[in-house]
Structure 1
Amino acid sequence: MKSNSKVLVILAFFSIYIIWGSTYLLNKIAVTELPPFMLASIRFLSAAILIFIIAKISGIKTSITRKQLLNCTIAGFLFLTFGNGVVVWALKFVDSGFAALEISAQPLVVLILMLILQGKKIQPMSIIGVILGSIGIYLLVSQKELIHQEDSIKGMLMIFAGMVSWSYGSIFVAKADLPANFFVNTGYQMLMGGLMLCIASISFGEEWIAIANWSTSIQLSMVGLIIFGSIVAFTSFNYLLRAVSPEKVATSTYVNPIIALLLGWFFLNEQITLQSIIAAAILLTGVFFINTKKKLVLFSRFKKQ
């Protein structure tokens, strides 16, 4: 059982590290033709429908309590309606790699929120990791090539707001009463988040474009966002929030920028400089220190026993 759990954790981290890193590219491609809140709404509602169909076929019970539905609604808003919706909107003004780079500050925000809300002490290894991560972030976002774009400041502020929302959501979900089945949990969060995004889209007067009028690249991007970015990766994310600590899950935002930068460079000709490469190396070192912290604690306890 322990061996199976370890494999699941590894696969789940692969999903949130690699697959989520690619969603920046997919969202950037899709938002060039589709309104942002409409895009996100269709993505999450479609994923929710597929999840419930799969659950029905597999005989998985989808009934939940009122409290669990309320918590799924709160989580859906924090993660998807606001946390993801405003980031997709911001991609109209900034490069996909830049968005991922800014969001890589999330582990620092998670640690600070846990300190403020839970009084949790920040361990030395985490402090070192955050410092290294912050240095890497600064090197990345201080590049003139990245920030001198029209309305980039507006996009940066909205991305920061979405990142704070996602960070608080990570802490909330870790202790909230949610459906025990991670697949069902994901389905309800996406259903509620998607419905709120739909309301937001209508409220902002977005024009809904028929699927038949989407280009092939947009259709393929949406398929990737729905199946891999939503169902696979988000289910993995919810699983990890219960299996490991929130600050460790947040380290995905250190790896995602590397993936986003490479994909943005390859498919969208977004620029990668020597400074970006150096910063990426520093960011990954920060990931090592944050991930190593818990292992060192567990190892010391084992030795005492």
Structure 2
Amino acid sequence: MAKSSNSALVILAFFAIYVIWGSTYLMNKIAVTELDPFMLASIRFITAGLLIFALAKIMKIPLTITKKQLWNTIIAGILFLSFGNGVVVWALRYVDSGFAALEISAQPLIVLLMMRILQGKKIQPMSVIGVALGIIGIYLLVSQKQIIAQEGSVLGMVMIFFCLISWAYGSLFVSKADLPTNYFVNTGYQMFTGGIILAFMSFGFGETWSLPTTWSGEVQFSMLLLVVFGSIVAFTSFNFLLKTVSPEKVATSTYVNPIVALILGWYFLDEQITMQSIFAAIILLTGVYFINTKKTLAIFERFKR
């Protein structure tokens, strides 16, 4: 019975990292059409962080951390959430949700190159093939005339690329940083502090804040899904899977998330899926497959989104 129960949890957890994480692009795209991006991301992560702290208290998980751990969670929160996620939400004003998901799927490529540049790690032959395919896939993706012609699209693509660099550096940073040992507590502090920084960014850019009661029902529902499912359920499922199945299996979310985002964006938002985008996706994701070696995954998968 216990084995059957565990199998059910594994299936549900995979559903979470496949579908829920893949759908966060759609949810953010819906919300950012009405709300200012940094305010949106700030409310999402502050709320999620507070809920995680509340759940930790209920489960009697100690929230005490050292000053060094707090500082490191702040840095990680900035790299992953304040810049890495907040700027992506901002970019969704200018690019389709499916396109953003595809560009972000190149994250392992950036991690690998940064490991080479900053740490001098040798790139394995299979990974070299992956890097080559990844570069070709990205070029095919961003060179489409119908996409480049959209107002602000080039700026959006460039900013997402800088987000990839932020995530990659953040991955290398947290791999060696002194962080809270409990992943639930670690996530809570990163989300809460990252959300606070996003609030300062929002005020600095002069964004207009509004109460949730003034939002449309569609945006309220999107925010609820982002907080509860995208930030808490999916991340908890992700960490559960890392302890239950092999990292290679968990890494399949890298391939599935963009497909889910493309389909949802096409179905709900009428986003266009071109043949070149499909071809670029196949090449790019094949490259990601070659790159996702065990050595890369040890750093990359532990601290994804």
TM-score by length of 1: 0.85
Whichever residue aligns with residue 34 of structure 2, its letter is E
- Greater shift after overlay, 203-212 or 229-238? 229-238
Question: What SS class does the counterpart of residue 46 from structure 1 fall into?
Answer: helix
The match for 2:80 is 79
Residue 14 of structure 1 deviates from its aligned partner by: 5.7
Deviation at 1:8, TM superposition (A): 8.8
1:141 aligned onto 2:152? no
- Counterpart contact for 1:100–1:253, Cα < 8 Å: no
* 1:1-305 equivalent positions in 2, closer than 5 A: 15-235=16-236, 252-291=253-292
What SS class does the counterpart of residue 28 from structure 2 fall into? helix
Q: Distance in 2 between matches of 1:293 and 1:57?
A: 36
Q: Secondary structure at the match of 1:175?
A: coil
Specify whether residues 141 and 239 from structure 1 end up closer, same or farther in structure 2 by C-alpha distance, changes over 3 A only: farther
Distance 1:185 1:127 in 2: 33
When structure 1 is superposed on structure 2, of 45-54 and 254-263 the one drifting more is: 254-263
CA deviation vs aligned residue, 1:253-278 (integer Å, no higher than 9, x gap)? 55432221111101100011222223
Range with bigger deviation, 235-244 or 286-295:
235-244
3-state SS of paired residue (2:175): helix
Letter in 2 for 1:274: M
Change (3 A) 1:6 1:131: farther
In the alignment, the residues of structure 1 paired with residue 66 and residue 285 of structure 2 have an alpha-carbon distance, to the nearest angstrom, of: 41
1:39: Cα distance to partner?
Answer: 0.2
% identity of equivalent residues: 71
Task: Report if aligned partners of 2:108, 2:288 keep a CA contact under 8 Å in 1.
Answer: no
- CA distance in 2: counterparts of 1:27 and 1:85, whole angstroms: 10
Matched residues in 2 for 1:104 and 1:25: separation?
16
Change (3 A) 1:146 1:239: farther
The alignment partner of 2:77 has SS state of helix
| 128 and 99 in structure 1: CA distance in 2 versus 1, 3 angstrom threshold | same
Bigger shift: 195-204 or 138-147?
Answer: 138-147
**What is the Cα deviation at residue 241 of structure 1?**
8.8
What is the CA distance between 1:102 and its match in structure 2?
Answer: 2.1
CA displacement 1:133-171 (0-9 Å, x = unmatched): 332222222222222101112212211111111111111
Moved more, 284-293 or 209-218: 284-293
**Alignment-mate amino acid for residue 175 of structure 1:** K
2:299 — aligned with what? none
1:107 Cα offset (Å): 1.6
Give the corresponding residue for 1:301: none
Query: Does structure 2 conserve the Cα–Cα contact (< 8 Å) formed by 1:174 and 1:241?
Result: no
- Structure 1 contact 173–241 (Cα < 8 Å) conserved: no
Using a 3 Å threshold, how does the CA distance of structure 1 residues 5 and 195 change in structure 2: closer, same or farther?
A: farther
Report if aligned partners of 1:12, 1:237 keep a CA contact under 8 Å in 2: yes
Checking the alignment, whether the CA contact within 8 Å between 1:47 and 1:187 is kept in structure 2 is yes
CA distance in 2, matches of 1:138, 1:182: 36
Aligned positions, number: 292
Letter in 1 for 2:82: T
Alpha-carbon distance between aligned partners in 2 of 1:208 and 1:29, rounded to the nearest angstrom:
17
User: Partners of 1:56 and 1:263 in 2: how far apart?
Assistant: 36
User: Where do 4+ consecutive residues of structure 1 move more than 6 Å?
Assistant: 4-13, 238-251
What is the letter of the counterpart of residue 78 of structure 2?
F
Alpha-carbon distance between aligned partners in 2 of 1:129 and 1:268, rounded to the nearest angstrom: 32
Q: Mark the CA change 1:208 to 1:266 in structure 2 (over 3 Å): closer, same or farther.
A: same
Residues 241, 121 of structure 1: CA spacing in aligned structure 2 closer, same or farther, 3 A cutoff? farther
Structure 2: gaps of 5 or more residues? 297-305
Paired with 1:120 and 1:285, the residues of 2 have a C-alpha distance of: 22
- In structure 1, the gaps of 5 or more residues are 296-305
Q: How far apart in 1 are the matches of 2:128 and 2:18?
A: 21
3-state DSSP of counterpart to 1:33: coil
